[in-house]
């Protein structure tokens, strides 16, 4: 967390950049990622850039409780831009613990800079000073998630699990890494003040810019959440065998398979995202065939010993690092994405050689994108059967194993949190 002294010193440009970032994050999918490249952010000094990012993320992580506190103090909502300004002011006061005089004064100034903002300066001042006098509770799990998602989680996983999942929203996650050489995990963890998790993921204790950490420039590891590292391990690929990674970008699973010695083909339809895959392959000294194509339409007759499909999804399981996904998702997204996943799963199945394995996964918490998707696939696709996982296999938390041998990883299943995933392993008959 940014120190109060630095927050006090951060000026209006940093807060204006945080406002741009918050607007981008809440306007569309991938808005947060795009917003991090916004010119207003790039133009800042490193310290101010770090504050702007910290402020936007603090607002997103506790957006539900912040909105509840603001709504209790507003007779009618002001224009959207002023609401965003108020959200940032509340996060400075209540989450980052910015000194009250700096937070209130700077937020009022930010309000005045907005088009039509002058008449709302008094309102912003009064609301924020009210929060100083009577600070609200910001860690209530019942407020942290959007209500429609919380209801879905209660229905799918039960009320206790749903509250535990929601509580994780407010927590800033550590950075997880996959070492190129599994035997180097312990020494890497020591260098990064971290720990080795089941399966070989290293959870770093360091904060800040990862490119400056030991081993990055030498290509000794890559950033990859502990849950995201499980699917590739479950393929059990042997050196020299062929592996296909569909919807491969940003490439963590491609790197894993290549490090295992597989002959990897990575397919993704985004040329921009594939550039990151190629850059990471070059940095780590690993090799793979990189193909820019729609996985469902790719014209290639080859079949592979192992196929991994990490399908596009609602991404609700990634909220620890991308809290904006909770607020830009809508109930209508799930059936649309489920239809796309079914098409991709059918395409992936056609690529599996006789006796080969197919691993399907999504970083979604929605059953329609996971359990229901695989059940429907097996019903319509003769020749494929589930290949159940063993408890703890691939480094997955034991609590994640379902009775049929698939995995439903929930964010609270690992101490310190983990991304939510559904993973199923299937085999084509010989």
DSSP for 42-65, please give it. HTS-HHHHHHHHHHHHHHHHTHHH
**The token pair that represents 357 in the structure block:** 């394995």
Q: Which of 235, 241, 236 is nearest to 264 (CA)?
A: 241
Q: Write out the H or E segment, with its range, that includes residue 25.
A: helix 12-27
Q: How far apart are CA 146 and CA 64, in angstroms?
A: 7
Here the tokens at position 375 are 């059940």
Please identify which of the residues 111, 313, 361, 363 carries the catalytic annotation.
Answer: 363
DSSP class of 250: T
Q: Is the CB of residue 345 less than 8 Å from the CB of residue 43? A: no
Kindly report the number of other CB atoms within 10 A of residue 271's CB atom: 10
**Is 363 an active-site residue?**
yes
User: Quick one: tokens of 254?
Assistant: 């491609």
Helices (H), 134-239: 141-144, 147-157, 159-167, 185-191, 230-234
291 DSSP assignment: E
Helix residue spans in 381-424 (DSSP H) = none
> What separation, in Å, do the N-terminal and C-terminal C-alpha atoms of the chain show?
55
Whether 359 contacts 424, CB under 8 Å: yes
> b or e along 141-173 (b: 16 or more beta carbons within 10 Å of the residue's beta carbon)?
bebbbbeebbebbbebbeeebbbbbbbbbbeeb
Residues with catalytic roles: 363
């Amino acid at each position: 967390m940014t120190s109060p002294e630095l927050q006090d010193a951060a000026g209006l440009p940093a807060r204006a950049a945080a406002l741009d970032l918050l607007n981008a994050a809440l306007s569309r999918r991938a808005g947060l990622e795009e917003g991090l490249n916004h010119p207003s952010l790039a133009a800042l000094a490193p310290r101010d850039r770090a504050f702007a990012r910290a402020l936007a993320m603090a607002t997103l992580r506790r957006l539900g409780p912040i909105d509840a506190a603001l709504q209790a103090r507003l007779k009618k909502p002001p224009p959207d831009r002023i609401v965003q300004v108020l959200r940032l002011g509340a996060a400075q006061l209540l989450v980052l613990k910015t000194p009250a005089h700096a937070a209130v004064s700077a937020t009022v100034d930010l309000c005045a800079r907005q088009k039509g903002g002058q008449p709302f300066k008094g309102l912003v001042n009064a609301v924020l000073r009210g929060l100083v006098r009577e600070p609200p509770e910001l860690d209530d799990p019942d407020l942290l998630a959007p209500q429609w998602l919380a209801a879905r989680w209660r229905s799918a996983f039960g009320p206790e699990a749903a509250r535990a999942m929601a509580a994780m929203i407010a927590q800033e996650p550590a950075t997880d890494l996959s070492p190129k050489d599994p035997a180097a995990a312990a020494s890497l963890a020591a260098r990064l003040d971290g720990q080795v998790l089941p399966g070989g993921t290293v959870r770093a204790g360091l904060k800040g810019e990862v490119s400056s950490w030991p081993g990055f420039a030498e290509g000794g590891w890559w950033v990859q959440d502990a849950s995201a590292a499980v699917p590739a391990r479950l393929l059990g690929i042997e050196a020299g065998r062929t592996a296909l990674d569909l919807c491969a970008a940003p490439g963590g699973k491609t790197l894993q398979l290549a490090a295992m010695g597989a002959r990897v083909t990575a397919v993704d339809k985004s040329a921009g995202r594939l550039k990151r895959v190629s850059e990471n392959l070059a940095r780590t000294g690993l090799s793979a065939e990189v193909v820019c194509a729609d996985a469902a339409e790719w014209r290639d007759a080859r079949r592979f010993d192992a196929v991994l499909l990490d399908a596009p999804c609602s991404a609700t399981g990634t909220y620890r690092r991308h809290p904006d996904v909770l607020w830009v998702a809508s109930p209508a997204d799930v059936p649309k994405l489920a239809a796309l996943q079914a098409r991709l799963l059918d395409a992936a199945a056609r690529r599996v050689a006789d006796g080969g394995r197919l691993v399907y996964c999504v970083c979604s918490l929605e059953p329609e994108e996971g359990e229901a998707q695989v059940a429907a696939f097996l019903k319509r696709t003769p020749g494929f059967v589930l290949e159940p996982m063993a408890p703890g296999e691939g480094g997955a938390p034991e609590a994640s194993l379902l009775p049929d041998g698939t995995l439903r990883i929930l964010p609270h299943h690992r101490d310190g949190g983990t991304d939510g995933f559904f993973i199923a392993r299937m085999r084509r008959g010989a």
